[in-house]
Amino acid sequence: MEKMRGSGRIKTSAADKAVSIVTYVVVITLCLVILLPCLNVLALSFNDGKDAARGGVWFWPRVFTLENYGEVFQDGSIINAYKITIARTLIGTLMSLIFTSFAAFALNQTELPGRKIITFLITFTMLFGGGTIPTYIQYNELGMLDTFWVLVIPSLVSVTYLIMMRSFFDGIPYALQEAAKLDGCGYFGIYFRIMIPLSKPVLAVVGLYTAVNLWNDWFAGAFYMTSDALWPVQTVLQQMLARAMSASQQITNVADAIAASQNTVTSDSLKMAAVVITTVPILCVYPFVQKYFAKGTLIGAIKG
Amino acid sequence: MKKKRSTVTGITVEYEPLWRRMLNCWPLYLLLVPAIVYYILICYVPIAGNVLAFKDYSFRLGIWGSPWVGMRYFEMFFNSYDCWRLILNTLHIGFIKCILEFPFAIILALLLNEIRAPKFKRVTQTITYLPHFLSSVIIVTMMQRILAPNTGVLNQVIAGLGGDGSTFWLMQASAFHEILFGMDIWRNIGWDSIIYLAAISSVDQELYEAASMDGCNRLGQVWHVTLPGIRPTIGLLFIMGVGGLLSSGFEQMWLLRTPGNMSVADTLDVYVVRVGLQQAQFGYASAIGLIQGLVGLFLVVTTNALSKKFTEVGLW
């Protein structure tokens, strides 16, 4: 597309040039606005906590130290929280992919009696739901509160991902399925031997979305758990944040800030180290899946 | 493509009785079981559980055994001192999120589409998608650091420019909406632009050539070709967004709330969790949740109907 539009031109007009310049300036500014705060967090996490409380640490640590990271890794409760987050993300993503693709495949088969009504009933939950309290009470009735399962089950089969997968299956030539049927392949055979091997892009995208949501969720830990034994790491961070928000009311000047950083349990540098450690693993998955993004979202959009 | 029953049996699907067709599909029903159990237990039982709004819930009696109280909780809410403040706060934030923030992703997609250097474009996209992968907790923790009085980056810049660098931004009710707006744009602009970029890439290329022949410059092409081409996508996303007008994103509100900005940051979502989960007033909180849910449903259905009537774009 780029070639076609470029070669036909006789000469770029002044107006077009202005458009180009404005485009680049805006886009580069946006990228800086997104990156610089992240750099600031990185710099703080590698900087000595007491020193950082004086301010003035920008994008490079002033007093370099690895102590913050060391301290985070020595904290037993944070390590435990990491284990829970990892377990939750792996188990939850795997279960979601299996159950969602099962349902998407079944609803993709046009000869299935009742497929329209089932699809409607599932899609309807996107528009109207039970609300926070009835949901909470249902989890309680199911005995899910204070168990590991409340971290996994609530997001097991999402409507959006189900529709994305079903639309992707729609795009796989029906002739393949028909040929398999003629060869005596049952539904399970078609699912495992044809649909799943051909669906890597959509499985990758849905898998990543689900993993990111599970990794980043703090709500379940904060509101469906009465003890901190099963808190995922995001909930631990959220509780730190909440404490900091209420403690910081009194801090109004630099001296107070330094005093506070020496007295309170967690210095900002320590917190930033925790932020970095919590974010890096999920960011590592992202480049591998990026190429599928545009495709995946488009599928969801057309049929959504 | 028209699908037919397998030719092995020699019978077309129309002539088989329903029960036999269902029987033939048993493996499919088996595959659907986990999803159906999930939707019944996790979605539909709570939908039925909305009757809680009309009941005085007690753990001992359960939802169905608890006594009916009629519309008492709705009256309680509309007569309460908090009611209108909460609704106005929610609408204000909903307006920022659904209307004010809406065009930015489209603008970014249009800008990215004008970039001709593929490498630069890819790097930009990677960077702008990045914040989507950070959790709300992480972003608010970062913001708390950056917006801190005196030592935060923003205040240091202000002080460096000769201003007063001691403002505690997160405690200022007056700065709350700006902070929220900035945070949302920062986090979502790149991610939300993906869908528009995908829509733009499916616009017919010949239209651009035709426009170019007719003497349209790049700006003109964006206006006359690209924007009309992605109008259905814009419409669909707008309709979806309008449903969220009354549920303004619980996570962010809960995390950004401080004693200082409480007067504007207290929304219906936050209130439901506060009185429901923290103070265990289940019936009362359910009533408010039910109002939110019904209004959201009504908004989506109405916007969809209007949109279908005037632009022929609709969700269903």
Amino acid B151: pLDDT: 77
Distance CA B205, CA B195 (A): 18
Tell me whether residue A272 is in a domain: no
Are A40 and A59 a contacting pair, CB within 8 Å? Answer: yes
Q: In sequence order, which ranges of A217-292 are alpha helices (DSSP H)?
A: 219-223, 233-247, 254-263, 268-289
**Closest residue on chain A to B53 (Cα):** A134
Across the interface, whether the CB atoms of B41 and A254 are under 8 A apart is answered no
Token reading at B29: 């029903």
- Among B204, B133, B299, B263, CA closest to A208: B133
Amino acid B10: pLDDT: 56
Higher per-residue confidence, B311 vs B283? B283
Least confident of B17-26, B161-170, B240-249: B240-249
Across the interface, whether the CB atoms of B133 and A257 are under 8 A apart is answered no
- Among B45, B53, B273, CA closest to A142: B45
**Closest residue on chain A to B184 (Cα):** A34
Token reading at B181: 């707006």
Quote the percentage of chain B above a pLDDT of 90.
32
Q: Residue A133: which of B28, B148, B282 has the nearest Cβ?
A: B282
pLDDT average, residue stretch B103-118: 91
Across the interface, whether the CB atoms of A102 and B31 are under 8 A apart is answered yes
Contacts of residue A30 in chain B, CB cutoff 8 Å? Answer: 108, 124, 128, 189
pLDDT in tens, A20-41: 899 999 999 999 999 999 998 8
Amino acid B162: pLDDT: 83
- List b or e across B31-51, with b for residues whose CB sees 16 or more CB atoms inside 10 angstroms: bbebbbebbebbbbbbbebbb
Q: Does A40 touch chain B (CB under 8 A)?
A: yes
CB-based contacts of A90: which residues, under 8 Å, 6+ apart?
none
- Amino acid symbol at B58: S
pLDDT average, residue stretch B192-211: 87
Kindly report the average pLDDT of chain A as a whole number.
83
- Among A111, A107, A110, CA closest to A123: A107
Contacts of residue A133 in chain B, CB cutoff 8 Å? Answer: 49, 52, 272, 276-277, 282, 285-286, 289
Q: Does A59 touch chain B (CB under 8 A)?
A: no
pLDDT over 50 at A302, yes or no: no
- Per domain, the residue ranges of chain B are 13-65, 75-311
Are A41 and A275 a contacting pair, CB within 8 Å? Answer: yes
Most confidently predicted of A46-55, A215-224, A287-296, B237-246: A215-224
Across the interface, whether the CB atoms of A128 and B297 are under 8 A apart is answered yes
Distance CA B206, CA B222 (A): 14
Most confidently predicted of A243-252, A293-302, B106-115: B106-115
Q: Residue B138: which of A112, A181, A279 has the nearest Cβ?
A: A279
* Farthest CA pair distance, chain A: 80
Amino acid A261: pLDDT: 52
A223: containing domain: 74-228+294-303
Q: Residue B251: which of A142, A219, A290 has the nearest Cβ?
A: A219
pLDDT over 60 at A296, yes or no: no
**Closest residue on chain B to A54 (Cα):** B151
Least confident of A251-255, B127-131, B196-200, B248-252: A251-255
Supply the DSSP string of B247-287, one letter for each residue: ---HHHHHHH--TTTHHHH--HHHHHIIIIIIT--HHHHHH
pLDDT over 50 at A301, yes or no: no
Q: 3-class DSSP state for residue A218? A: coil
Contacts of residue B131 in chain A, CB cutoff 8 Å? Answer: 34
Please give, rounded to a whole number of angstroms, the shortest distance from the CA of B304 to a CA of chain A. Answer: 12
Distance CA A90, CA A271 (A): 25
Residue whose tokens read 């992202």: A286
Tell me whether residue A264 is in a domain: no
Q: Does A87 touch chain B (CB under 8 A)?
A: no
Tell me whether residue A162 is in a domain: yes
Please give, rounded to a whole number of angstroms, the shortest distance from the CA of B217 to a CA of chain A. Answer: 7
B189 confidence band (pLDDT: 50, 70, 90): very high
Amino acid A12: pLDDT: 64
Query: Count of domains in chain A?
Result: 1
Amino acid A264: pLDDT: 47
> B75-311 has which CATH code?
1.10.3720.10
Q: 3-class DSSP state for residue B55? A: strand
pLDDT average, residue stretch A130-149: 92
Tell me whether residue A81 is in a domain: yes
Tell me whether residue A222 is in a domain: yes
Residues 117-176 of A with CB under 8 A from B: 118, 121-122, 125, 127-138, 141-142, 153-154, 156-157, 162, 174
CATH number for the domain harbouring residue A186: 1.10.3720.10
- List b or e across B125-150, with b for residues whose CB sees 16 or more CB atoms inside 10 angstroms: bebbbbbbbbbbbbbbbbbbbbbbbb
Kindly report the average pLDDT of chain B as a whole number.
86
- Chains A, B: CB contacts under 8 A, how many? 323
Which one of A95, A102, A133 would you mutate to disrupt binding with B, by most B Cβ within 10 Å of its Cβ?
Answer: A133
pLDDT over 80 at B9, yes or no: no
Tell me whether residue A47 is in a domain: no
H or E stretch covering A117: helix A115-127
pLDDT over 50 at B180, yes or no: yes
Q: Does A262 touch chain B (CB under 8 A)?
A: no
Tell me whether residue A252 is in a domain: no
Question: How many residues does this entry show for chain B?
Answer: 316
Q: Does A7 touch chain B (CB under 8 A)?
A: no
Across the interface, whether the CB atoms of B38 and A99 are under 8 A apart is answered yes
pLDDT in tens, A260-282: 555 444 577 888 888 999 898 88
Token reading at A149: 């399962």
Number of neighbouring beta carbons within 10 Å of residue B227: 15
pLDDT average, residue stretch B282-293: 92
Higher per-residue confidence, B311 vs A294? B311
pLDDT over 60 at B102, yes or no: yes
Tell me whether residue A174 is in a domain: yes
pLDDT over 60 at A106, yes or no: yes
Across the interface, whether the CB atoms of A23 and B114 are under 8 A apart is answered yes
pLDDT average, residue stretch B275-291: 91
A257 confidence band (pLDDT: 50, 70, 90): low
Least confident of A153-167, A285-299, B72-86: A285-299
Distance CA A31, CA B111 (A): 13
Across the interface, whether the CB atoms of B49 and A130 are under 8 A apart is answered yes
